[in-house]
Structure 1
Amino acid sequence: MVRPDPAGAGLTTGALARRLGVSPTTLRSWDRRYGIGPAVRGEGRHRRWTPQDVAVLEAMCRLTSAGVPPAEAARTARSGSEVPEAVVAPDMTLPEAGRARSHAGGTLPLGDVRQECRGLARAAVRLDAPAVEQQLASAIRDHGLIVAWQEVMVPTLHAVGRKWASSGDRYVEVEHLLSWHVSSALRRHTRPLSAQATGPAPGPMLLACVPGEQHSLPLEALNAGLCERGLPTRMFGGAVPAEALSAAVTRIGPAAVVLWAQTRSAASVPLAQHIAGAQWGVRGARARTAVMLGGPGWLGRSGKGMLRPTGLRDALDQLSGLYAESPPGEPQ
């Protein structure tokens, strides 16, 4: 329970904004647009928020974080009624076409997306880290890793990126916060190395961004998915130098190497060909690795004989099949 200040006049707008993790501008906007304002106004029309006002705003924050459009959230919060279960956790047993989606406008240009994207975007714009973390965990728990990544995380990340690109330096803090929490959620979902499959089998999957490429979140999602399937991985992350990548391939003899390139300028076909041609093992039983090219940077680039997945599920299926079909010790 939020207590009023010692003077008994209630909280100031700045103090309440800090408690709720929203900006003072947001509180003033909600007051002006939806009538969720303070019961007490001090001298000079300064807002003072009572515990009852705070309870309404806490409900407003919970509803908008769940993806409810602000106008509808305001009506529900003011009425004091319970949040319908279907709003907080839509029925995921429905087929894809029947799943709840939101078309309501929001701060970010999301388009026709899952309701969870709306809530995640609003929480990110408010820099509400606890809400972002909770929603990401719920998305993975309720939908599974693949759907959570493709239909919740990626659309929201893209929307933040577009807003940043069109607004100069604004919203960069939103993108950084959201990216960090997405990475954290994916890593929490990744099984520890000690729990991964061991025993006689081809080498692990090596995941790396090409030199000059820092966008490692898609690889983190793939790493989590492979670990979920019990397949061993070696995650190298962003901007791996070519020499280091080649050295790692010959040292660990991976079953496959996934090279991620977000931009065309970073995608190097000669590097991919060099990795595909690398050999290791004793004379007469030399082995090679399969190479998977991931990311939009490879579009239109030649990659003969290399794996080209269409998405996360396809990448997981291709790599799982490759791993299962290679008998221990057989040259590739």
Structure 2
Amino acid sequence: MDEQHDGQDGQPDGPGPVAAAEPGVTTGALARRLGVSPTTLRTWDRRYGLGPAERAEGHHRRWSAQDVAVVEEMCRLAATGLPPAEAAHLARKRRETDRPVAVPRPRRAPGRPSEATLERQRRGLARAATRLDAPAVRDLLAEAVARYGLVGAWQDVMVPVLHAIGRKWEEAGDRYVEVEHLLSCHVSRALHRGPVASVTAAVPPLVLACVPAEEHSLPLEALSAALDELGLPQRMFGAAVPVEAVAAAVRRTGPRVVVLWAQARSTASLPLARHLAEARWGVRGARGGPTILLGGPGWAGHTVRGALRPTTLPEALTRIERIYPEVTAGPAPA
């Protein structure tokens, strides 16, 4: 997936908040603002008629504020999954009406969407994030959650885009750090806007925590939001929780499940996981302890007796539901 440049079909990389340009903005300057190449702008002009409205013979092309607005509109529309030609056609209407055009709402397909549909949404989200277009990122995330549910949106849209942006960050050094931060912030907000079911009564909570020195907490936030939908009580402690704090939280709450997240092998703490796996509480003869769920690629190759190693959010939820039969059990027979 390429979030930075347009493909062979000339589809733009996504919407971006570009300030109204002063008269006479060059193609190179506009390309830098939008994050595309000058060749891409020339292609849009040739194919879709989105070039400068006024041109002077013998001079470089100049883009007025209205010209910039039309190109922005095409980017915004294309990020929703519209074909480039249709996005350009609607964007040109802005030049006539001088106001944004309503985006046609795609029909909701039954069942799991096709991979092509998901790929269009991923590309649109990645492009919007690359342009730092916060409103578009927010709307695209909300649409994904509404269409596929929280777990489906996380698994099929958010995670692939986060990974793609992360790879670009690694490949480009310090570039794209701001893109990843903006996207992560809005993913976190989208996760916490989901429905919250009534908490199942008299059920021991789960404890969710990142291991010490682990700052990547978004996967835990996704699990926390999914548990909210199930109505399971939890104690979410987030990123980089000190060993003593995790141990104290487990001791004080007596959880049935403890989830420890480690993104990198350098942060995975085997002593902490083994210590918690051996924790016991309760009266003599009825002592119990937690089931440990080791989440994240950091635990690869590590073994903790009795611990579970789910690799996806749906798998983690399935494991937890088995430990909490109260979640899926129907009402008691009369």
TM-score by length of 1: 0.78
Match of 2:64 among 49, 55, 58: 49
Q: Distance in 2 between matches of 1:190 and 1:263?
A: 31
Q: Structure 1 vs Structure 2: percent identity of aligned residues?
A: 53
In structure 2, the residue matched to 1:188 is 193
Measured in 2, the distance between the counterparts of 1:239 and 1:89 equals 41
- Cα deviation for residue 159 of structure 1 reads 0.6
Question: Which residue number in structure 1 is paired with residue 265 of structure 2?
Answer: 264
1:303/1:68 CA distance change after superposition, 3 Å = farther
Label 1:288 to 1:25 Cα distance change in 2 as closer, same or farther (>3 A).
closer
Specify the SS of the correspondent of 2:306.
coil
Partner amino acid for 2:145?
Answer: I
Deviates more, 1:60-69 or 1:169-178: 60-69
Segment drifting more, 252-261 vs 264-273 = 264-273
Partner of residue 248, structure 2 = 247
Contact 2:165–2:180 (CA under 8 A) maintained in structure 1: yes
> Unaligned stretches of 5+ in structure 2?
1-19, 95-100, 328-334
Q: 2:207 is paired with a residue of what secondary structure?
A: strand
Residue 184 of structure 1 and its aligned partner are, at CA, apart by 1.1
Shift of residue 320, structure 1, vs aligned partner? 1.9
Q: Is the Cα–Cα contact under 8 Å of residues 108 and 147 in structure 2 kept in the other structure? A: no
Paired amino acid for 1:160:
I
Q: Which amino acid aligns with 1:320?
A: E
Deviates more, 1:266-275 or 1:244-253: 266-275
2:73 to 53, 59, 66: 59
Deviation at 1:308, TM superposition (A): 1.7
Relative to structure 1, the CA distance from residue 138 to residue 25 in structure 2 (aligned partners, 3 Å threshold; closer, same or farther) is closer
Taking a change above 3 Å as real, the CA distance of residues 100 and 273 of structure 1, as seen in their structure-2 partners, is closer
Residues in 2 aligned to 1:308 and 1:259: alpha-carbon distance in whole angstroms: 10
Does 2:46 match 1:32? Answer: no
Question: How far apart, CA to CA, are the structure 1 residues paired with 2:179 and 2:152?
Answer: 23
Contact 1:67 1:117 in 2 (8 A): no
Deviation at 1:223, TM superposition (A): 0.5
Give 1:46 deviation, angstroms.
6.2
1:283 CA displacement: 3.5
- Match for residue 109 of structure 2 among 86, 92, 107: 92
Greater CA deviation, 254-263 or 35-44? Answer: 35-44
Shift of the alpha carbon at 1:266? 1.5
Residue 224 of structure 2 is aligned to residue 223 of structure 1: yes
The answer for the alignment partner of 1:197 in structure 2 is 199
> Counterpart of 1:47 in structure 2: which amino acid?
R
- Is the 8 Å Cα contact of residues 276 and 291 (structure 1) preserved in structure 2? yes
How far is 1:220 from its partner?
0.5
Q: Which residue of 2 aligns with 1:207?
A: 208
The answer (yes or no) to whether the contact 2:132–2:179 under 8 Å persists in 1 is yes
- Which residue, 151, 167, 176 being the options, matches 2:156? 151
